[in-house]
Amino acid sequence: MKKVFFRSIILIFISVLGMSANAQSAKRVEKTVERRQEQLDKQKESKKKEAKEEMESRKQRHHDIQTKKVQKRMKQSRKKAKKHNENKREFFIKRWFS
């Protein structure tokens, strides 16, 4: 009877230890996956930032190489477009069902 009792206790003890070890390794894997995802997000963010800066510099260069007359015309057309876009009505279906 004692042998069966000790064997069952040892078996339960080993199974409990095995389960906790698996849980810890799963957490470790999750953390590495999270860290990798964070790295990828940071890289993506930096690429977006660089692309935006590049676009701004190209836009500025395009503006700088224009003559004074063209710059003035561009400014006027930009103001006119902004004025028209601000007073734009909502989409007609949205107006019908609101």
pLDDT in tens, 27-82: 888 889 999 999 999 999 999 999 999 999 999 999 899 999 999 999 999 999 99
**What band does 17 get if pLDDT is binned at 50, 70 and 90?**
low
Residue 12 has pLDDT above 70, yes or no: yes
Q: Are the C-beta atoms of 29 and 40 separated by less than 8 Å?
A: no
Is the entire prediction scored with pTM above 0.85? no
Q: How would you label 48-86 residue by residue, b for 16+ Cβ within 10 Å and e otherwise?
A: eeeeeeeeeeeeeeeeeeeeeeeeeeeeeeeeeeeeeee
**What band does 7 get if pLDDT is binned at 50, 70 and 90?**
confident
